[in-house]
Amino acid sequence: MASTSRPPARKRRNTHAAASSGSTRTVAALFYTAACTSITVMSFSLLHTTHAFVYLPRRDHRLTSTLPSQWDLGRCSSNHDGRPGVPKWRGHTRDMLVRAATSKKSSAEAPEERDWKQALLEDDDLDIDAIIAANKETLPRLPGILSASPRDGNVDLPESFLDEAVASPKKEEGVGPLVSRAKMQGLGGKGEEDEEKKKAQQNARLATWLGENGVWMQDKSGWGVPPHPLLLSSRTIDEIELEDSGRGLICKYPINMGNALFQLPLSIVIDKEKSLAAFDGALPADINEYFAIALMLIQQRALGPSSFWAPYIDVLPTTEEVDPTLVWPEEDLALLETSPLVAATRSLKRKLAAEFALLEEQYMRARSDVFDPSVFTFEAYLWAFINIFSRAIRVKIGGKRGPSGEEEESIIMCPYADLINHNPFANTYIVAEKPFKMFNPIRGEEVITIYADKDYKKMEQVYISYGPKSNADLLLLYGFCLDRNPFNSVDLTVALLPDDPLFEEKRAFLAQAERREKEAFPYPNELFEYLRLVYLTKEDMGGKALREMEFTDPISLENELAAMASIEGACEEALASYSTKEEDDARLINDSKLFNMFPKTQRMAIKHRRSEKRLLKKTAAAVKQQLLNLRSGKRKLRPEEE
C-alpha cells in the first residue's frame, strides 16, 4: 500500500544533491572478461556518484533499453504512436521478430530472418529486450570469449608510467582530432595489393597446416566426411554495420542447420597445459591460464617458422589491426567524451602493466635464459593479451574438474575457429566432444566441433555470437562496436544517501549481502531493489528489520517514485555531461561518405557515444512516462492492483 505520510521525493533529491559535492571516487576492479564487466556511465549528484565505473563479477545481464518487466515500459523505446507498450513495427510484430532473430529455422523460413535484419537496419526502436529474453536460452551455451580471472584488480600506477608503458600510435603534429590518424582506406595501391597477397599466402599455409594436422580441409568427400564447406577470406564486411571485419569464414557450399562446419583436434589448440610443456618447468603449474597462454603466444611468435604453430601465429592480427580502446591515442579516446569506457580503458591498461611487472619480477627475471627480455617485452605482452581478449574461447575439455569435482572450463586459443566473426544474433556453437569413431579422420580423440546454427547459403559468412556484449565491452576488448547492438547497456551507479538516518543500518545490511554502499547495476531489477533500499524510510519498514523486508516488489508509492525519479535524473545528467548531442552524432554517422573517411577508431568512438546517448534518452523517456502514469493513477503500483 502506498504511504502518503512521508516527505516528498523531491525534497529528498535536494538533500542528496547537496550532499553530493563531496562525492568519492569508486575504485575500479577489472576482470578479464567482457561477460562479467559492467561499466557505469552515470555521473549524477542525485545518487552521489562520480564518473566511476565498477566491474561486477558474474553478471551477464545488462540494463538494456528497458526497465523491469513489471513496469511494462514499452522497452524504453518510443513507439511509433508515442505510447509505451509493445512497439509497432513496419509490418513486423514483435513476436515475429523475436522468433526470426532467435530461431533455428529451416530455409523455408529464411525470408523472415531477412526481415529482422532489414528491420534492424531501418528502425531504431527494435524491441531488443524481447530478443534478449528469447536469446537467453541459447546464448550462454556459447563459449563467451574470456571469463573471470581472480579478483585482484585494483592497482594504482601513475598515469605517466602507463602512457609510456602502453604502446600507442604517435600523434601527428598539427592535425585535428578527427583526422589525425586518417589513413585513406582503399587507396593503398601497390602496398595494399602486396598486403592482400601476403594474407592470401598466410591463409593457404594455415589451410595446409590444418590439413596436415587432422582437419578435413579437402574439397571432396572422404570416408563418411563431407567436403570442407568453408573458405577463409582475408577481408570480410559486417553485413549489418558494413564495417571491415578482417578475416572471416565464408560458405563454399550451402550448409544445413545443425551440420558440423569443421572439427579440430585438441593437439592444435593452445592452452595452459601446452604452455607449461613449452616452457619446460620454467613456469609454475599453478600459473593463471591467461598468463600461461600469453607467454606461450610470445614465445611461439619469436620462434618464427620453426614453431609448430607458425601458420596459426602468422594469421593472428597485430595490435593495430585489432585496435581496441586499450591502444587508442588520447585524441581518439577524447572523442568518447564522458563515456566510462575511457576510465575502463585506463584501468585495463593499469592492470596489464602491473601484471606484466609482476610476471617479470616473479618468473621472467630469474630465467632470462628462457624469457629473453628483448622478446618478452610489454609490447609483446599487450599483443598477446589483445589476441586472448578478442579470440580465446572457454570450453570444457579433457574432463578437467574443479576442486569440488565439477567439470571445469578451460581457456584455449583455437586456430581456425577463432576466425569466425561476431553477430549478436548468431547461434553457431562450439563444443568439445568425442565423435563417432568409424569414419572420422580424428579417431577416438576428443575434438572441437563447430556446428551451424542455421541453413547457410553459398557465399554467406558464418557468424558466431561472442556473447551478449555491450558496445563498451566490444570496443574495450575487440576493437569494434555495433551501431545496432541489442545487448548494448548503460549501467547506473547508485549509492546510499550519506545523510540518511538509516545509513549505518542499511550499510550493514548491504555488507551482509556482499554489497557496498555504492554499486553499479547493469540489471534493472537489481537496480530497482537497491534503489528501494536507498529510499526506504522508517515508516516504510513498519517496525520490521531490514532483513525482513522484501525489495523485489514495490514498497510504497513514494518509495517507487523516488527510485524512478533517480533513474530519470541520472539519465538526464549523464546526457548533459556530453558536449555533443545524439542528433549531431546521428547526422555525422548518416552522412556515410564523410563518416567513412574517418579512421575506424574515430568512427567507433562516435558510434559508441551515440549508442550510449540513445539508450540514456530512451530510458529517461520511458521512466518519465511511467512516473506520470504512476502519479496520475493510470498505472497501479502493483500489477495485482490493476
Ligand X SMILES: C[S@@+](CC[C@H](N)C(=O)[O-])C[C@H]1O[C@@H](n2cnc3c(N)ncnc32)[C@H](O)[C@@H]1O
Q: Residues in the site for ligand X, rule: CB under 6 A?
A: 238, 241, 243, 245-248, 317, 322, 390-391, 418-419, 421-422, 478-480
CB 317, min distance to ligand X, A? 5
Q: Please give the Cα distance from 359 to 361 (Å, whole number).
A: 5
Q: Which is nearer to ligand X, 228 or 422 (CB)?
A: 422
CB 10, min distance to ligand X, A? 45
The phi and psi torsions of 451 (rounded to 5 degrees) equal -105, 145
Which grid cell is 493? 551507479
Q: Which is nearer to ligand X, 418 or 572 (CB)?
A: 418
Q: Which is nearer to ligand X, 51 or 422 (CB)?
A: 422
CB 309, min distance to ligand X, A? 15
Q: Which is nearer to ligand X, 272 or 422 (CB)?
A: 422
CB 508, min distance to ligand X, A? 44
Cα distances (Å, whole numbers) of residue 411 to 147, 293, 296: 8, 9, 13
Beta bridge partners of 413: 270
Residue 14's contacts (CB-CB under 8 Å, 6 or more residues apart) are: none
CB 385, min distance to ligand X, A? 12
The C-alpha angle 329, 333, 339, rounded to 5 degrees, equals 160
Q: Which is nearer to ligand X, 234 or 629 (CB)?
A: 234
| CA neighbours closer than 13 Å in the CB half-sphere of residue 302 | 19
Q: Which is nearer to ligand X, 84 or 246 (CB)?
A: 246
CB 245, min distance to ligand X, A? 3
Which grid cell is 548? 525482513
Q: Please give the Cα distance from 561 to 64 (Å, whole number).
A: 21
Q: Is the dihedral of CA 564, 568, 571, 577 positive or negative?
A: negative
Closest CA to 69 of 626, 631, 641, 629: 626
- Find the length of the chain: 642
SS3 231: strand
SS3 207: helix
CB 423, min distance to ligand X, A? 6
CB 393, min distance to ligand X, A? 9
Q: Which is nearer to ligand X, 23 or 421 (CB)?
A: 421
CB 391, min distance to ligand X, A? 4
Which grid cell is 305? 617458422
Which grid cell is 355? 601484471
- What number of other Cβ atoms are within 10 A of residue 211's Cβ? 14
Q: Which is nearer to ligand X, 246 or 522 (CB)?
A: 246
Q: Which residue has the cell 581457456?
A: 411
Q: Which is nearer to ligand X, 54 or 268 (CB)?
A: 268
Q: Which is nearer to ligand X, 84 or 248 (CB)?
A: 248
Q: Please give the Cα distance from 578 to 261 (Å, whole number).
A: 45
CB 249, min distance to ligand X, A? 9
The C-alpha angle 55, 51, 381, rounded to 5 degrees, equals 50
Tell me the residue nearest to ligand X as measured from the CB. 246
Secondary element (H or E) of residue 448? strand 447-451
Q: Please give the Cα distance from 412 to 422 (Å, whole number).
A: 18
